[in-house]
Amino acid sequence: MPMSLILSLLLLQAAPHAMPGEATVDPYVASNANAGATPFTGDAMARAFHGQEGIGRVVDGMVTRAYADPVIGEIFTSHDKIRLKRTLVEQFCYILNAGCSYSGRDMASSHKDLGVQRKDMNRLVELLQQAMREEKIDFQAQNRFLSKLAPMHHDVVGQ
């Protein structure tokens, strides 16, 4: 088998496929390591978030608020909302140990050239908290989850 064919097959295998309705992205190697945090152990956090369905509702609420938000909405206007929702559900589901794998890019490259500032991240956290409250996620579980997400700000802010 020619080397170029082998390389092409490896790239196809490693590169995630866009789901229907999503814009294509530059190839990258999909890995759970790209999620930016290690998952919780056990199923308590997944249950606290009401499983994959609850996680989907939290992400939907946060993303809907973010796109409509007068403070940070402009950051999202040129982004693929369908892919954003899918990869956030995967990321949250993976970190919450709710039975998902993460197929998105790493945090630094996915936020490259967005110019996200600390105040933008703080606002997004507020919107996430609103979505978690709407889903009736226990305050302690919210804080445990936010503590997993917090270190990612180094790979997001100022990229």
Binding positions are 111, 154
Q: How far is CA 125 from the centre of its chain?
A: 13
Contact (CB, 8 A) for 51 and 100: no
- Tokens representing 79 are 């982004």
Which residues make Cβ contacts (< 8 Å) with residue 148, sequence separation at least 6?
37, 38, 40, 95
Task: Quickly list DSSP for 106-121.
Answer: -HHHHTTTS---HHHH
- Tokens representing 70 are 């007068």
Point out the annotated binding site for heme: 111, 154
